[in-house]
Structure 1
Amino acid sequence: MNLDQLTYKVNGCAMKVHNTLGNGFQEVIYQRCLAIELGNAGISFQREEPQTIYYEGIDVGTRRADFIIEDCVIVELKALINLEDVHLAQAKNYVVAYNKPIGLLINFGSTSLQFKKIYNPKYNQQIKQSHNLVNPDSDK
Structure 2
Amino acid sequence: MNVNSEQLSKDDPVFKIIGCAMTVLNAIGHGLREKTYERALMVEFRHEGMECESQKSFPVHYRGELIDEFIPDLIVNGNIIVDTKTVDAFNNEHIGQMLNYLKITGFEAGVLLNFKHARLQWRKVTLNNND
Scaled by the length of structure 2, the TM-score of the pair is 0.86
The question of 1:85 aligning with 2:85 is answered: no
Tell me how many residue pairs correspond in the alignment: 123
Conservation of the 8 A alpha-carbon contact between 2:73 and 2:84? yes
The residue number in structure 1 matching 2:58 is: 51
Conservation of the 8 A alpha-carbon contact between 2:10 and 2:16? no
Structure 1 residues 12 and 6: CA distance shift in structure 2, 3 A: same
Q: Deviations over 1:65-97 (max 9, x none)?
A: 111111121111111122211111111111121
State how far apart, in whole Å, the 2-side matches of 1:119 and 1:4 are. 16
State how far apart, in whole Å, the 1-side matches of 2:17 and 2:90 are. 19
Whichever residue aligns with residue 109 of structure 1, its letter is K
Structure 1 residues 75 and 92: CA distance shift in structure 2, 3 A: same
Give the secondary structure class of the aligned counterpart of 1:71.
Answer: coil
Q: Please, which runs of 5 or more residues in structure 2 have no aligned partner?
A: 1-8
Conservation of the 8 A alpha-carbon contact between 1:82 and 1:110? no
The residue number in structure 2 matching 1:68 is: 75
The residue number in structure 2 matching 1:113 is: 120
Where in structure 1 do 4 or more consecutive aligned residues deviate above 4 Å? none
The answer to which of 30-39 and 4-13 deviates more is 4-13
Whichever residue aligns with residue 12 of structure 2, its letter is Q
The root-mean-square deviation of aligned C-alpha atoms, in Å, is: 1.7
The residue number in structure 2 matching 1:29 is: 36
State how far apart, in whole Å, the 2-side matches of 1:82 and 1:111 are. 13
Give the secondary structure class of the aligned counterpart of 1:76.
Answer: strand
Match of 2:13 among 6, 23, 33: 6
State how far apart, in whole Å, the 1-side matches of 2:78 and 2:10 are. 11
Of the two structures, which has the highest relative contact order with CA contacts closer than 8 Å and spacing of 6 or more? 2
State how far apart, in whole Å, the 1-side matches of 2:90 and 2:51 are. 27
Deviation, structure 1 residue 100: 0.9
State how far apart, in whole Å, the 2-side matches of 1:58 and 1:115 are. 35
Q: Please, which runs of 5 or more residues in structure 1 have no aligned partner?
A: 129-140
State how far apart, in whole Å, the 2-side matches of 1:91 and 1:111 are. 23
